[in-house]
Each structure stands twice: as C-alpha cells, then as structure tokens.
Structure 1
C-alpha cells in the first residue's frame, strides 16, 4: 500500500482548524497541524485556513513569515490550498469597513463587501459554477457547498501575458452578485467556501485535491 500524502494545516492562530484537520484525514491525508518551517515546506500539500477579518489574518500570517513560505512552495510547484479567508488573502488586497489591507498578491483582485441588498453574512449552502476541466470539482458539477462570509472577490482580470502557465480555472457562485468561489492555478488552489463543512461534496473535493498531490 502506498503511503498517504503528507498534508500540513498551517497553524498560525486561526480558529476552527480542527474540523479541517479531521476532514483532510478522512479524505486520505497524513495530516499535521503545525507552523514548523521544514514541515510546511516539505509536505506534499499545505492547507492555509482562515477565519475572521482579512487584515487580522494577514497580520497573523506575516507574524510567522508564512507568505514567504507559501511563495516558496508555489515557486517550487508544491501544492497549496487556501480555505475561506485563506482563499481571500491570496488576492491583492481586502477592504473591510473602509480599511484596506494588502494581501499576498498571487492573483489580481480585491476582496470587498457583498451587496447590501442581500442578507450577510452569506451563510449556508449554495451552488457553484465549476470551471471547465476543474480538478477540484471533478464529479461535483451539480453539488452545493457551505459558505460563511460577508466579503468576496467579485471581479476577475488576470493578465495571461505575465504567466507561462495555463490560465487559472475560476469557479463562480452568486449571492447578490457573482463572486469567485474557487480558483485553481497550477500548484495553488483555494475555495471561498468551507469544504470541511460541506458534507459528502466537500469530502470528495478534498479527496480530489489530495489525490492530485
């Protein structure tokens, strides 16, 4: 029997990470919750969770130099999966309550408030429109996923001329406006929703990611 892929869930003080650890274990990973640099850099897969405000999550990540480690993994084509605010901070910046904070800038875009005309936070199950050829959503094209958020990236303007890789695969959802529900870009993937809270569909998505490591 081949060994299970090693997966590190980045431990930087984000709350509610143990459900992600358990889900990744059930999905077939050998999972460790840590901020040890060697483990973060050398694991088959790295998961960056996130709960709370964009600026606070970035402050916590910067405090342990996590953006540098994440950048090194991406440069070396080592898979990274962001979840919820861990998805949002991969974009250029976030604006909450009128305060802007810089993100990691892996993708263009700004995290802004969902429209006031709808109930926020956007909490509960919602459909998505998976990108064609998606690895994460293979076999999950008609499934619903669990969201908890008031902010999202609502536009996508990627300059393909700056990348030699294939264009990122962008999956959308809708709550008052279209917003990005997931991105797959070479070794870097992320979901605005919580796969670990999304029942069988979320479990299959995590399996799809783990089996791709």
Structure 2
C-alpha cells in the first residue's frame, strides 16, 4: 500500500502494487467505514473506494489524522486474498431477461454457446468493487475464480452507443454491471432487468454498495 497526498484534507491509499488490489481495496474501505461508525475517525468525512485505490476525505480545513487511519488498518490483513465478509453477505438477486442485442456476438467472440454465456453469468457470484460513472452504477467483479473469466476478458466495444436503456445488464473490461438509467455506454449488452438500481425517494437511494454480493438469475429458467 502506498499513501499518496490528495491535498491538506485527504489521502489516497494506492493498492495497485499489492498481490490482490481489489480485495485490499474492499477490506480497507470496510475497516475504515467501521472505524468511522465507531467514532475512532472523527475528522473523516468519507471513504471512497475505486478499482485499486481508496480516497480518505477529512472535513474541509481540519486536516487528516493519518495516524488514526494507520491504527485502524492494523486490524486487517491486506495480504490475504479473500474478504472476510463475502461468505456471510446475503447475495442481492437480480432477475435478468437474457435477450440482449449483443448476446449472440458475445457467444461467438468467446467461443461459447448462448446458453453457456448465460450459465457463466448466472453461476457466478459477483461483488461490487466500487460505484461510479452514474448514480447506482456498480462495477461488479467475480468472486475469486469463476466461469465468468472468459466474459470479463472482453474489452469494451470498439464503438460506444449513444443510448443504452435503463436496466441493461452488461459486461466489459473485467466487470459486469447494470445501467441504472438510460445513458451512453460501450459495454456488451447481455440482457435487461426491471430492478431499480437507484431511487431518489429512498432513504438509501443505491441498491448496490461496495462489498455487496450480487447473483444474476435467468428469468426464463424460473418460468
């Protein structure tokens, strides 16, 4: 882990050189959020995870107590390649109609049948690595090794679409995701869901949060 200054009131924890950067990032985020809830990081305003980094933001003008952050991180083994909470987290089920316009092309590119693509996507437990791009848009990575490795190896599409419908379920560049609202996008579209990823009127607007576990289910298999 590298500690990088981000102004007087923030610090960026960089795990890109760690053996398991995504795991270390999630563990760090979880530990620091717990420390905030326990009151041991009184100056910290927010902890924001990304793909391989965690931003620790203090209240403006108060400065960052770096020693308290280091103390909190002593409680976690960042070298262990599993998350302590993953096994105990109840997966969020997202039912999907696998009728995406890219499904056949994804199958052909991955040298799989359409059924194998759907199976790889639904048989994998996905973990929310971070939230970005749009409110409620969770970047999902496979839990440890999985049959979805071939899918996540797909790069982004060469040309993005100006409009991707809300609820579109997609894969690209090592991740899977659900588009919470209509927006441009360059991912491969496997299907769609009616689940709301973001609700402005809810006390907790985002369905997905970093560290949450997701399981996609095939709607047709349930009928």
Q: TM-score range by the shorter chain?
A: under 0.3
Q: What TM-score, normalized to structure 2? A: 0.23
Q: What TM-score, normalized to structure 1? A: 0.23
Based on CA coordinates, which of the two structures has the bigger radius of gyration?
Answer: 2
